[in-house]
Amino acid sequence: MEAPIRAREALGFILFSLLFSICRSSSLNHLLISNAERRIDLSSHIVKVYLTLKVENAGSTPTSEVFLSFPPTQVDHLATVEALVTKGKRKKTTLVRLDVKPTELPDAPNDAKYFAIYLANPLKSGESTTLEVLYLLTHSQEPFPAEIAQSESQLVYYRDSVLILSPYHIKQQTTFIKTPSTKVESFTRVEPSNRAGTEIKYGPYEDHPPYSFSPILIHFENNSPFAVVEELVREVEISHWGNLQVTEQYTLVHAGARHKGVFSRVDFQSRPTLNGASSLRYLLARLPPRVHSVYYRDEIGNISSSHLRTDSRKSELEIEPRYPLFGGWKATFVIGYGLPLQDFLFETSDDRRYLNFTFGCPLLETVVDKLTIKVVLPEGSKDPSAVVPFPVEQHLETKYSYLDVVGRTVVVMEKKNLVPTHNSHFQVYYTFKPIFMLAEPLMLASAFFLFFVACVAYLHIDLSIRK
Amino acid sequence: MAAPETSTAAVPTLYTNNTLRNAFGGVLSFFILLLIGVLAFSIRLFSVIKYESVIHEFDPYFNYRVTQFLTKKGIYEFWNWFDDRTWYPLGRVIGGTVYPGLTLTAGTIWWLLNSLNIPLSVETVCVFTAPIFSAFASWATYLLTKEVKGAGAGLTAAVLLAMVPSYISRSVAGSYDNEAVAIFALIFTFYLYLKTLNTGSLFYATLNSLAYFYMVCSWGGYTFIINLIPMHVLLCIVTGRYSSRLYIAYAPLVVLGTLLAALVPVVGFNAVMTSEHFASFLVFIIIHVVAFVYYIKGILSPKMFKVAVTLVVTVGLAVCCAVIAVLIALVASSPTKGWSGRSLSLLDPTYASKYIPIIASVSEHQPPTWPSYFMDINVLAFLVPAGIIACFLPLSDASSFIVLYIATSVYFSGVMVRLMLVLAPAACITSGIALSEAFDVLTGSIKFQLPGVTSNAEVDAGETSSDTSEAQTDEVKAEKPDDTSKNRPSKKSKKKERELAENPPAKATAKAKAKAEKKRLLALPLEASVISLLLLVVLGAFYVVHSVWAAAEAYSAPSIVLTTRSRDGLHVFDDFREAYAWLSHNTDVNDKVASWWDYGYQTTAMANRTVIVDNNTWNNTHIATVGTAMSSPERAAWEIFHSLDVKYVLVVFGGLIGYPSDDINKFLWMVRIGGGVFPHIKEPDYLRDGQYRIDSQATPTMLNCLMYKLSYYRFVETDGKAYDRVRRTEIGKKYFKLTHFEEVFTTHHWMVRIYKLKPLKNRIRGKAKKSKSKTSSTSSSKRSGTKKKNPWL
């Protein structure tokens, strides 16, 4: 839709559109950022950026939207953007979460993409507020060299702009970059910049106009395994007999520098720190408490290398893949477990039931490229609706499981590019009459009854032609 | 199950006040049978409980893969399946070379369950197919033995079969192999044969051919049936037991059975062309001649009959001679005399070791040792002779069949340890008969000597049922049935008459029983009976304990995952699956993996990679090529593998943890099989003074061959001494480099090592051309031609 409208604007309403854009950009120019501090954490393969913006309304009209802009290359890897605002006076500050939504601005230079932060209270003229923004980037560290041998450590590039890309004028800005170790091969120097330990400091830079951009490249060692789940299918099956069965199918890949040449077990076993430093040896999955019947297997059988630790608040499942994963190596596996239903299924006041369960992947420090959650509702449930705190694709399916006749409704939710911060709760509401629970036992009982009746009948009927 | 039971119980009319008791016996034996089924199923679940629900060993993986294909692609695709992922570059026509019975059975079960919306995976169905069919087999044993010696013997035989270790070894959960289904089919075919023989019903004869068809679908061992039944028919004819029932039992089986057998693609025209089937046709002709003679005898006067006989015999002899001459000429024209290698090695136990090392190399094709009899059939071995004696008292058509069955199967089991499986049901049946008869006698004499004969309720079910059959026999004898009713009771009465006519002094148990029943004489003393009963129970208990132990400890290991118990808990060696999973996820889907043929099925099933050879050893030359490569020096091996488009070489190595069945221990077979086709590989080159060794005394050929190098590459770095825990010695050559291969994966316990062929390097002109000319020849026949000339060096 956007393109034809724009074409029409360009053709017929040039004047109007020009005026409009001027208006919009001028409304942007009301705001300015008096101070910006950015901390980029590169210690794992998920890039965490903490941005503290002090926004000031220099214009005359109150505004309630603050725009963040990202270069198009970053937007593709942007997993989540969250914004908080500090409320209250000096001591008693509380953080309030704000709505963040992707938006379009008509005059975006070089296809920059925008996110709008909606302030709770409009920012009046002359006022200022401090926003805390957190955004996570995945797949943003490029291994270089792209292929390493077993004994080499993994070096990666990180590219960014030293100046924060913003539609607003920034008076003063500083960027801190935290690297996982002190081994930094090189970094672009933009004075004033200096490196101390694992931290590189850029800035402060004064007075940069909107859309200032100054690329930097940091080449550093990052031996944390790049655990990426290419595809994760979680199936949550509700049984009103008291169990919640979760089955998770993983396709795991080590997305770091590709392994090159020989894999020598003797080196790997005898010198574990030097060899395969970036290899993925185990994963930790955080499961809900009171988990039972946990299994960990793949398509050719059980994988015996796992440990489960449970306490009253959480369960931790430590799993080792069948083999250590080097860069580019893949593995698939399935984790399944049962949970007590009363911990997750609740009733609303209007007699509907809802499942409250975590979205996202229970594995720590992993990126999920594509997640599909299937909530299998019991047979006979109606009017399903899902409430998810962030936009997902949804559709319904039907699944036939043990002795189903009409099939079970499955609510399918799909989301791309997930990080552990997406592990928030979602709800699936539905209505269900408990009488349906008896359908299958009754069916079985009647089938057996008919069978026995048939047997009795057969034994008492004489089918012979001749006496 | 219930129908025949109640009918048996309903027969006796003499004991009219006992109908309730008989009905009770029928219900009791029904529940006993149900429990036997449960026992047969559950005793085989040790592997699932101790390990996991997984397919076992080698062949089951192939069957599992075929079943997966069947369930995914459907039956028509399955018949036409040409598998290009094995026997590269030849491929294999799976649909036409596989016995489809097992696959179709499991596929049908899976389809049935899924159409009832029971979402079991194909793997689960495959894992539990064998235990389910063991339950069926024990029920079939009950039916078969009931045809021979009544329900009591039937129940005893069924319970023995449910837990006979020999059968357990092939049918634990996960052992998804042809035999699991085939033993049921075998017993059931025999049951239907005997049922037809006893009743003369064409209905059962048709069912019999269908059961035979199922057996042909399931296992190559169907030739045992098609030879044993003719033998029995011949025996009956020779001993003057020809009857129209025999004709009905045999002729439809041959005609229908052969037609049906020819429908199975793997058998096809073999059903009429190979020597394994000739016996059945010969007997088919004989039985017709005999039937004709009996018919002529019926319509001619004795004098005319004599004239006719002389006439026919002279003409017939001439014709027969001509026909036999033609047949012999035909058979002699084929090099193996029309027999397949495996069948020949049955007839001549030394055949395989002389001519076909590939058959001899399989451990299950070796002759068994004496302890393995004790291990596999345990106390049955001692009960079998008693059972055979019991079969002779009185000898009926059915019991003579059992005698013949046990005699032939004992011979076959002596040739090949694998055929112990055929012996097991026979041993169970005869032992069941022996035990049941012994119990009959002993309890009978106790009952006779106790003053009040009111202890009926305490008598166990087996005894009740045999009482029933006994009563039945008595009743029929009293009736003296007319000739028109050609059913079992009449036959039994004939038996009785004969037995009465020539009754030698009672010395065996069964005879004593008959007398005790008849005249209430010759009963054993009370104490002796009680003690013998106790001893028999102890014997049975010993059998049960042994079977459970065998099921739990000896036969439950899936062999793809090994466990050892040590002081600090259970150690799991899951290296095979580690390697296969690695191959499956981290190599290209079209890469070819070379390994010794043992691992072919597993590689295709678990890793989904193309293999050069696999456990279906149909092409000796191809296997010899791999054997030659493994026993050649690195460079020559690289060229062989490269010419076969191999990307990875997989070897199994147990030296680090002491896993004895690794490739180094199998290596001599590779040399032998390779040397059988490519004469430049000579076994003595690998032996020092006739001894196979890998230590410093080993021959240079041995220390330089590919298998040695791939197994021991960098092994010395693990402990500094390179001590091989399987061979219990330090290896001969510790430090060496690989020039044409590189290690790409070694599992956690070093059990599987995977090497990659290094790519061609830029070489000087002359050499490059040479290798090019070699690799360019792609057709296999051409390649093997050049190979024989070229010593690969």
Instruction: Tell me the CATH number at A60.
Output: 2.60.40.1730
- pLDDT for residue B394 is more than 90: no
As a whole number, mean pLDDT of residues A85-101 equals 77
- pLDDT for residue B364 is more than 70: yes
User: Does the CB of A231 have a partner CB in chain B at under 8 Å?
Assistant: no
Q: Where are the domains of chain B?
A: 180-338, 571-757
Last residue of one domain, picked from the residues A182, A201, A221 = A221
- By C-alpha distance, the chain A residue nearest B758 is A261
- Report how far residue B679's alpha carbon sits from residue B790's, in angstroms, rounded to the nearest whole number: 11
Chain A residues with CB under 8 Å of B714 CB are 264, 266
Helix (H, G, I), strand (E, B) or coil at B152: helix
User: Does the CB of A459 have a partner CB in chain B at under 8 Å?
Assistant: yes
Q: What is the DSSP string of A1-43?
A: -HHHHHHHHHHH-HHHHHHHHHHHHHHHTTEEEEEEEEEEE-S
Chain B residues with CB under 8 Å of A264 CB are 714, 743, 746
State the pLDDT confidence band at B102, using cuts at 50, 70 and 90: very high
The distance of A267 to chain B (nearest Cα, Å) reads 9
- pLDDT for residue B660 is more than 90: no
CA dist list (Å): B416 to A380, B49, B437: 58, 31, 31
- Report how far residue B731's alpha carbon sits from residue B703's, in angstroms, rounded to the nearest whole number: 9
**Record: contact B560-A455, CB cut-off 8 A:** no
**Record: contact A330-B586, CB cut-off 8 A:** yes
As a whole number, mean pLDDT of residues A75-91 equals 81
Residues A217 and A231 in one domain: no
| Cis before B394 (ω within 30) | yes
State the pLDDT confidence band at B500, using cuts at 50, 70 and 90: very low
Chain A residues with CB under 8 Å of B2 CB are 455, 459
What is the complex's ipTM, to 2 decimals? Answer: 0.86
As a whole number, mean pLDDT of residues A93-116 equals 81
- pLDDT for residue A77 is more than 60: yes
Chain B residues with CB under 8 Å of A328 CB are 586
Q: Is A25 domain-assigned?
A: no
User: Does the CB of B725 have a partner CB in chain A at under 8 Å?
Assistant: no
- Report how far residue A378's alpha carbon sits from residue A401's, in angstroms, rounded to the nearest whole number: 10
The distance of B65 to chain A (nearest Cα, Å) reads 12
State the pLDDT confidence band at B517, using cuts at 50, 70 and 90: low
Chain B residues with CB under 8 Å of A405 CB are 117
Mutate to test the interface with B, among A263, A269, A320, A465 (most CBs of B within 10 A): A263
- By C-alpha distance, the chain B residue nearest A332 is B585
- Report how far residue A53's alpha carbon sits from residue A135's, in angstroms, rounded to the nearest whole number: 13
**Record: contact B116-A330, CB cut-off 8 A:** no
Last residue of one domain, picked from the residues A194, A221, A248 = A221
User: Does the CB of B497 have a partner CB in chain A at under 8 Å?
Assistant: no
Q: When comparing pLDDT for B289 and B772, which is higher?
A: B289
Mutate to test the interface with B, among A249, A254, A265 (most CBs of B within 10 A): A265
Chain A residues with CB under 8 Å of B742 CB are 261-262
Number of domains in chain A: 2
User: Does the CB of A463 have a partner CB in chain B at under 8 Å?
Assistant: no
Residues A123 and A179 in one domain: yes
The distance of A348 to chain B (nearest Cα, Å) reads 32
Matching residue, tokens 């993925």 = A280
Identify the pLDDT of residue B520: 52
Nearest by CB to B577, from A265, A300, A401: name it.
Answer: A300
Identify the pLDDT of residue A103: 84
User: Does the CB of A7 have a partner CB in chain B at under 8 Å?
Assistant: no
Q: Summarize pLDDT for A124-157 with one digit per residue, the tens.
A: 888 888 888 999 998 888 888 888 888 888 889 9
Q: Summarize pLDDT for A192-251 with one digit per residue, the tens.
A: 888 888 888 887 888 888 888 888 999 998 888 888 999 999 999 998 888 999 999 999
Mutate to test the interface with B, among A237, A306, A319, A323 (most CBs of B within 10 A): A323
Percent of chain B at pLDDT > 90 equals: 30
Measuring CA to CA, which residue among A82, A75, A138, A73 is closest to residue A367? A138
- pLDDT for residue B73 is more than 50: yes
Q: Summarize pLDDT for A164-175 with one digit per residue, the tens.
A: 888 888 888 899
Question: Which pairs count as long-range contacts for A195-202, CB under 8 Å and 24+ apart, including other chains?
Answer: A200/A176, A201/A174, A201/A175, A201/A176, A201/A177, A202/A162, A202/A174, A202/A175, A202/A176, A202/A177
> Given 3.30.70.250, 3.60.110.10, 3.40.630.10, 3.40.50.12610, which CATH number is that of B571-757?
3.40.50.12610
Q: When comparing pLDDT for B7 and A215, which is higher?
A: A215
Last residue of one domain, picked from the residues A221, A236, A257 = A221
- pLDDT for residue B143 is more than 80: yes
Most confident segment among A445-454, B291-300, B304-313, B411-420: A445-454
- pLDDT for residue B734 is more than 80: yes
User: Does the CB of B116 have a partner CB in chain A at under 8 Å?
Assistant: yes
- Are B120 and B109 in contact, with CB atoms under 8 Å apart? no
Burial of B604 (0-12, 13-18, 19+ CB in 10 A): buried
Residues A276 and A384 in one domain: yes
Chain A residues with CB under 8 Å of B743 CB are 262-265
What does residue B684 show for φ and ψ, rounded to 5 degrees? Answer: -60, -25
**Record: contact B744-A262, CB cut-off 8 A:** yes
Matching residue, tokens 């294999």 = B92
**Record: contact A264-B743, CB cut-off 8 A:** yes
- By C-alpha distance, the chain A residue nearest B54 is A301
User: Does the CB of B604 have a partner CB in chain A at under 8 Å?
Assistant: no
pTM of the full predicted structure?
0.84
- Worst-scoring range by mean pLDDT, A87-96, A316-325, A404-413, B435-444? A87-96
Q: How far apart are the first and last CA of chain B?
A: 68
User: Does the CB of B561 have a partner CB in chain A at under 8 Å?
Assistant: yes
Identify the pLDDT of residue B231: 92
- pLDDT for residue B376 is more than 80: yes
Nearest by CB to B742, from A261, A300, A332: name it.
Answer: A261
Chain B residues with CB under 8 Å of A440 CB are none
Nearest by CB to B585, from A301, A331, A402: name it.
Answer: A331
- pLDDT for residue B538 is more than 90: yes
Percent of chain B at pLDDT > 70 equals: 82
User: Does the CB of B718 have a partner CB in chain A at under 8 Å?
Assistant: yes
CA dist list (Å): A336 to A304, A375, B245: 14, 14, 60
User: Does the CB of B714 have a partner CB in chain A at under 8 Å?
Assistant: yes
Q: What is the DSSP string of B623-674?
A: HHHHHHHHHSBHHHHHHHHHHTT--EEEEE--TTTT-SSSHHHHHHHHHHHH
- By C-alpha distance, the chain B residue nearest A302 is B52
- Worst-scoring range by mean pLDDT, A206-215, B221-230, B465-474? B465-474
Contacts A–B by Cβ distance under 8 A? 77
**Record: contact A266-B54, CB cut-off 8 A:** no
- pLDDT for residue B776 is more than 60: no
Identify the pLDDT of residue B406: 93
Q: Summarize pLDDT for B198-210 with one digit per residue, the tens.
A: 998 999 999 999 9
Q: Which helix (H) or strand (E) holds A325?
A: none
Identify the pLDDT of residue A374: 93
Q: Summarize pLDDT for A272-312 with one digit per residue, the tens.
A: 777 777 888 888 888 888 898 999 988 888 888 888 888 88
**Domain containing residue A177:** 31-221
Nearest by CB to A262, from B561, B742, B748: name it.
Answer: B742
Pairing between β-strand A63-70 and β-strand B82-83 as defined by DSSP bridges: unpaired
Q: Summarize pLDDT for B287-301 with one digit per residue, the tens.
A: 998 888 888 888 888
User: Does the CB of B743 have a partner CB in chain A at under 8 Å?
Assistant: yes
Mutate to test the interface with B, among A230, A251, A300 (most CBs of B within 10 A): A300
As a whole number, mean pLDDT of residues B410-417 equals 85
User: Does the CB of A151 have a partner CB in chain B at under 8 Å?
Assistant: no
The residues near A440 (Cβ < 8 Å, ≥ 6 apart) are A379, A402, A403
State the pLDDT confidence band at B17, using cuts at 50, 70 and 90: low
Pairing between β-strand A367-376 and β-strand A227-239 as defined by DSSP bridges: parallel
Residues A162 and A309 in one domain: no
Token representation of residue A221: 């060692």
Residues A83 and A179 in one domain: yes
Most confident segment among A380-384, B545-549, B692-696: B545-549
Amino acid (1-letter code) at residue A76: D
- pLDDT for residue B473 is more than 50: no
Measuring CA to CA, which residue among B141, B35, B137, B134 is closest to residue B461? B35
Identify the pLDDT of residue A301: 86
Residues A290 and A157 in one domain: no
